[in-house]
Structures are given as C-alpha cells and as structure tokens.
Amino acid sequence: MSLEGFNQELKGKNLIGYWMIPNRSDGFREPKPSFSPFLWKWREIHDALEKAVAYIRPEEAYRRFIGFQHPDLKLGTSHTLLMGAQMVCPGERAPAHRHMMEAIRFVVGGRGACTIIEGEQFPMEEGDLITTPNWSWHDHVSAGEKPIIWLDGANGPMINYFQVIFAEPYVQAQQMVVRPVGWSKRNYGVVRPQEAPLSNRSFRPPYRYPWEETERALEMLSEKPGDPCDGVMLRFVDPLTGGPTLPSMSCEIQLLRPGEKTRSHRHTYTSIFHAFRGSGVTVVDNKLMEWEKGDSFVVPLWSWHQHENRFKEPAILFSINDRPSVEALGFYREEKRETA
C-alpha cells in the first residue's frame, strides 16, 4: 500500500495522521486572525437605530439592539465578543430574561433610564458602565424625556463556540425591585460592611461604575506620562476580587491627550473600541482607521496597532477585550516595537 492509500484508509475510518495536517506546529508559526480590522461609523449606527424605532417595539424582539457584525465572521464583532448599540425610548420597557452570556452596558447618550439586575435598579447616565454577570435576571426601563442609547458588549460568540447557550425568559414582563439603589456598591465597593461576603470566584455581583468617578480618575492620571502603548489607561476591575471586570471579558477606558501618539504593540487578545469623545487615528497592521465620536472598531489579536490624537481636544476610547479568557488559558503574549 502506498502512503496515499494509507491516508485514504485513515480518512475512511474518520482518522487523521499528524503528517496530513496542513498547518502543523513543527515549524515557525504565529497567530493569523480569521478577521481583519474594521470600523463602524456612528452616523450609520444611529440612523439604523432611529429606523428600528419605527419598525420594532422592544416587547416584539426583546431588545432594540443592533450588533456590529464583522463581514469576515458568521457571528460577532470579533471571534469571541460582540458589541452593538441599543435604544430605549421614553416609557418603554425591555422584558426581563437571563442568559449564559456575560454582558456590559456603556451609556453613550441620554439619561433617565435604569437597568434592573437581580432585583436592583441601576441608574443609567452617559458614561456609566454597568455589568450583567451571566445568569442574572435583567430588564430595562426608561422614564426619561428622550431616547437613551447604550453599547451592549457580550461574550456571545465565545458562548456559541462552547455550545453552552442557556437562556430563559422571566415569568413576568418585568422583575420586582427588591433592593435599594446602590445596594451592590454598599456591599461590594471598596468600603463595605464588615459582614459583607469575601471574595468568591464563583459569584459576580452586578455593578455600576459611574462616569463622574471614571472621569475624575482619568483627569488625575493625565498629569502623569501614561503608558507608552495605551496612553492614560484605566481598567474596570471586579469589586470582589480586584481582577478583570467579568471572568471572560475586561473593560477599559483610555485618554489620548492632544498630539499624543502611542507606541505600536500587539498581543494575543482582541479588543473592540468605541470613541466616546474626540477624534483620532488608529493604525492596525498598516491599515489606517480614522475615527470620531461614536465610531467603533475592532483590533484583532496579534495585530500591530497604535493610536494617535492629531487634534487639539482630548480623545477618550472605551473598549472591551477577551484578555481574561486568554490569560486563564495560558495564551497571553505581548510584543512591543522598539520605536513608535
């Protein structure tokens, strides 16, 4: 029997020899993302949301959510994460449900709404970040005078890959509010009661990171040089453990001062950015992406990238990434270029 005949015999028995694998690990290899850098313009996103208001009521589709679907992928903004925008109009209620996905809300416009998570109301103001740990009951209510828009970030593609897609609607349209506003912060913040639960990796409370605290921290840090690759960078940490925002997903926010240009680097986690304020330029593997307030873009893993603020006003980028998952599996790696 020839080698080719032997290979065919293996295939016929649903087996495969190592020598038959086209991309083996016996030579030099490095990650090659299955998707490219991509940018979504806010004017197109906002226009789509306004049209969705005319066609879709929240109770008909559960959420008036429009995801940033990458053209290279079947599902998601990246291979592990998704981001999109959601609009809730005055007087509207998005029905309660829960799912295996971890999720975050980052408010980008409007006020007067709240998200209810596990019986606690979390006010939603521009710049606020609110977490929804997996399998947490949650619904949204708007009592404002104008529509409110926030970004939703979640690990949906990752959950889909692992095929652990649990989801469940609540027994009623909305859940009852059984905890006072600020309950989670009082019990899990940096100053907490003596009897508060200790760190527990199997439990994550929902949490609100108010914009006024984030902005104050950015302003204080902006007096220092900042990180060469990221500028003035803050990470939203889990209040219980001090670790990443959620077990599989981290949230960050960074300030680029006028004229600031970061050093190019690459790493084995993927980041999805949103321009919260200002304008700038990001170069990803020699691809130039010019962004302005409201735009969102993805930087694939192991792609050289750097940011630049070419304008006279500060720029602020909010981002989510899958670094916690990559680190937990022992896959984290980073390289920095010698020069910017």
User: What pLDDT shows up at residue 33?
Assistant: 97
For the chain, which domains are there? 38-336 (2.60.120.10)
Model confidence at 202: pLDDT above 90: no
CA atoms within 13 A on the CB side of 303: 25
Where does residue 87 rank: exposed (0-12), middle (13-18), buried (19+ CB within 10 A)? buried
Alpha-carbon distance 247 to 229, whole Å?
24
Sign of CA dihedral 41, 109, 54, 157: positive
The DSSP code for 340 is: -
* 197 vs 114, residue with greater confidence: 114
Structure tokens at 95: 């029905």
Q: pLDDT tens, 265-274? A: 999 999 999 9
Residue 98: band (very low, low, confident or very high) from pLDDT cuts 50, 70, 90: very high
Give me 2's structure tokens: 């020839």
- 3-class DSSP assignment, residue 39: strand
As a whole number of angstroms, the distance between CA 99 and CA 170 comes to: 11
Q: What rounded mean pLDDT belongs to the chain?
A: 94
Query: What pLDDT score was predicted for residue 240?
Result: 87
d(C-alpha 3, C-alpha 22), whole Å: 16
Strands (E), 89-155: 93-99, 103-109, 113-117, 120-124, 129-132, 138-142, 148-154
Residue 70, exposed/middle/buried by CB under 10 A (0-12, 13-18, 19+)? buried
pTM higher than 0.85 for the full model? yes
Task: Give the CA-trace dihedral at 216, 220, 222, 228, to 10 degrees.
Answer: -110
% of the chain exceeding 90 in pLDDT: 85
